Structure 1
Amino acid sequence: MADPFTDRLTPRARDIVSAARALLEEEGPEALTMRRLGDRLGIKAPSLYKHFPDKAAVESELIALSLWETAEVLEAAEAADPGSVPALAEAYRRHALAHPHLYRLTTERPLPRAALPPGLEYRAAAPLFRACGGDEDLARAAWAFAHGMVVLQLNGRFPDGADLTKAWETGAAAFQPATADC
């Protein structure tokens, strides 16, 4: 699947999404307003509405970008270590922790499925589904583990000295199906 924006967005709309991502990544979700976005681009906020109907539409594009990047990261991990739930969990962890504000925007509210490119959500989930031997319930449970660990880590909920690498390894290994082709 190609970049989710090349065919769907105009070059100016892609610039807006890039600026929105930079603002989000640098300052967090509170900073992501149409006014601040316009300021960053050197235009008046009302000009943004020529490209996006509202802030939610900009956020939907950021979520699509996040899912596309997650798919890329997980596909690379899958190619390097086929069938490995631990490898996918580690790749997921690294990407989420590297982009905490984008991760939270993507995961802390209902997914705007109707606004996403067709097949993107499936693509992001497919490597884990395959690693879990096609078992949807096991794949969902493994994702819930990884998501919960990321959120706990982002929120500083583990005690000082906790061996998070060991916790990740132990948890991810618990979801590795015995029948996986590794």
Structure 2
Amino acid sequence: MTGPQPASLPLPRLAARPAPPAQSARVREILAAGRALLAAEGAEALTMRRVGDQVGIRAASLYKHLPGKPALEAALVDAALFETGDALHAVVDAAAAGTVVGALLAEYRRVALGDANLYRLATSGRIDRGLLTAGLDEWSGEPFYRATGEPHVAQALFAASHGAVILEMDRAYSDTSDLDATWQALAAAFTR
């Protein structure tokens, strides 16, 4: 007699993708300028004046479209979470059981390193999460649960992958470190 069998991983999607907020063409232009500035110079450069300069309008006029810098940052984080969630859900959807954790971590690393300043803004904790699209935080993080099947293990996997990617961004590993091997070891530690 055998005990209960674990659910085959990956688990199906649990929640529907939240609907992105409607944005005018001008707001999309402002966000694109903010994102370009963030990518090039980091969060410190992301000011309403600098973004206004990029789109050719005075900073005061930006407030007609976004109520302030917190709203600008939240809209950029919203975009990052939608993009990350889409990428991670797609990888989990396509991965075969036994490979899902490794595929998830490889994609998470690729997304984070691909736009490091946006990743830092989205994960720094300085954003008022109440300004984000309802349900987006949970939905974008759901692939970790789908890959592990257990909420606490999913949180541990996210914490480990976040720490590993921040250390990589900060170049905190030894120059002789094989980071691909490190990420593979992380995946192996969480693969059942």
TM-score, structure 1 as length reference:
0.90
Contact 1:128 1:139 in 2 (8 A): yes
Q: Percent identity?
A: 43
Q: Which has the higher contact order (CA 8 A, sep 6+)?
A: 2
> How far apart are the structure 2 equivalents of 1:41 and 1:3?
27
Report the alpha carbon displacement of residue 111 of structure 1 after superposing the two structures with TM.
4.6
Q: Deviations over 1:100-122 (max 9, x none)?
A: 00000011124522111122112
Equivalences for 1:56-75 in 2 at 5 Å? 56-75=70-89
Of 102-111 and 48-57, more deviation after overlay is shown by 102-111
Contact 1:3 1:68 in 2 (8 A): no
Equivalences for 1:89-100 in 2 at 5 Å? 89-100=105-116
Equivalences for 1:123-162 in 2 at 5 Å? 123-133=139-149, 135-162=150-177
TM-score, structure 2 as length reference:
0.86
- Equivalent position to 1:104, from 120, 130, 148: 120
> How far apart are the structure 1 equivalents of 2:96 and 2:65?
41
Q: Which residue of 2 aligns with 1:55?
A: 69
- Equivalent position to 1:117, from 113, 116, 133: 133
Matched residue of 1:117: which SS?
coil
- Extract unaligned runs of 5+ from structure 1: none
After the TM superposition, which parts of structure 1 deviate over 6 Å for at least 4 consecutive aligned residues?
A: none
- Extract unaligned runs of 5+ from structure 2: 1-16
Larger Rg, first or second structure (1 or 2)? 2
Contact 2:18 2:139 in 1 (8 A): no
Equivalences for 1:22-33 in 2 at 5 Å? 22-33=36-47
Q: Which residue of 2 aligns with 1:18?
A: 32
Contact 2:18 2:134 in 1 (8 A): no
Q: Which residue of 2 aligns with 1:36?
A: 50
Q: Which residue of 1 aligns with 2:13?
A: none
> How far apart are the structure 2 equivalents of 1:35 and 1:115?
21
Contact 1:60 1:116 in 2 (8 A): yes
